[in-house]
Amino acid sequence: MEPIVTITGGAIRGTTEGGVTRFLGVPYAAAPVGPRRFRLPEPVERWAGVREATSMGPTCAQSPYPAPIHALIGSDGIPGDDYLNVNVWTPDVGGAGLPVLVWIHGGAFVRGSNARRIYDGTAFARDGVVMVSINYRLGISGFAVLDGAPSNRGLHDQLCALRWVRENIAAFGGDPDNVTIFGESAGGMSVAALMAAPQSAGLFRRAIMQSGNGSVAAEVDDARLVSAALADARGITPTATDFAALGPDDLRAAQNAVALALMTDPDPQRWGASVIERGLGIMSLFPVIDGDILDGTPTEVLATHPRRRVPLIAGTTADEFRFFTVPTGIAAGVTADTLPFVLTRYGIDPVVARTYSARRPDATPDQIFNAVLTDWCFRAGTMDLAVVNAGTAPTHVYEFAWPTGIAGLGACHVLEVPFVFDALDQAHTLTGPTPPQALADEIHAAWVSFATDGTTGWSAFTAEEPNVRVFDSPESSTVAGLRADELAALRQAARA
Catalytic residue among 300, 320, 399, 416: 320
Nearest CA to 280 among 349, 415, 184, 381?
381
C-beta separation of 261 from 229 below 8 A: yes
Is residue 156 part of the annotated active site? The answer reads no
| Residue 288 to residue 404: CA distance in whole angstroms | 34
pTM: 0.97
Candidate list 75, 141, 185, 476, residue with the active-site label: 185
- Beta-ladder partners of 468: 397, 479
| Cα-Cα end-to-end distance for the chain | 66
**CB 297: neighbour CB atoms within 10 A?**
25
Mark whether 486 is an active-site residue.
no
Domains of the chain: 4-174 (no CATH), 311-495 (3.40.50.1820)
- Spell out the per-residue pLDDT of the chain, length 496, in tens: 689 999 999 999 999 999 999 999 999 999 999 889 999 999 999 999 999 999 999 999 999 999 999 999 999 999 999 999 999 999 999 999 999 999 999 999 999 999 999 999 999 999 999 999 999 999 999 999 999 999 999 999 999 999 999 999 999 999 999 999 999 999 999 999 999 999 999 999 999 999 999 999 999 999 999 999 999 999 999 999 999 999 889 999 999 999 999 888 888 889 999 998 899 878 999 999 999 999 999 999 999 999 999 999 999 999 999 999 999 999 999 999 999 999 998 889 999 999 999 999 999 999 999 999 999 999 999 999 999 999 999 999 999 999 999 999 999 999 999 999 999 999 999 999 999 999 999 999 999 999 999 999 999 999 999 999 999 999 999 999 999 999 999 998 876 5
Q: The sheet that has 4-7: what strands, in order across it?
A: 4-7, 10-13, 50-52
Q: 398: which strand partners? A: 315, 469
3-state class (DSSP) for residue 332: helix
Q: What sections of 103-247 are H helices per DSSP?
A: 122-126, 139-143, 153-168, 186-196, 220-234, 240-244
> How far is residue 435's CA from residue 426's CA, in Å, rounded to a whole number?
11
Alpha-carbon 484 to chain mean position: 25
Q: Assess whether 413 carries a catalytic annotation.
A: yes
Annotated catalytic residue: which of 105, 413, 416, 476?
A: 413
Cβ atoms within 10 Å, residue 203: 19
- CA-CA distance, 154 to 41, in Å (whole number)? 9
Of 66, 62, 105, 114, whose CA–CA distance to 323 is shortest? 66
- Give the Cα separation of 318 and 360 in Å (integer): 14
**Pairing state between β 4-7 and 395-400:** unpaired
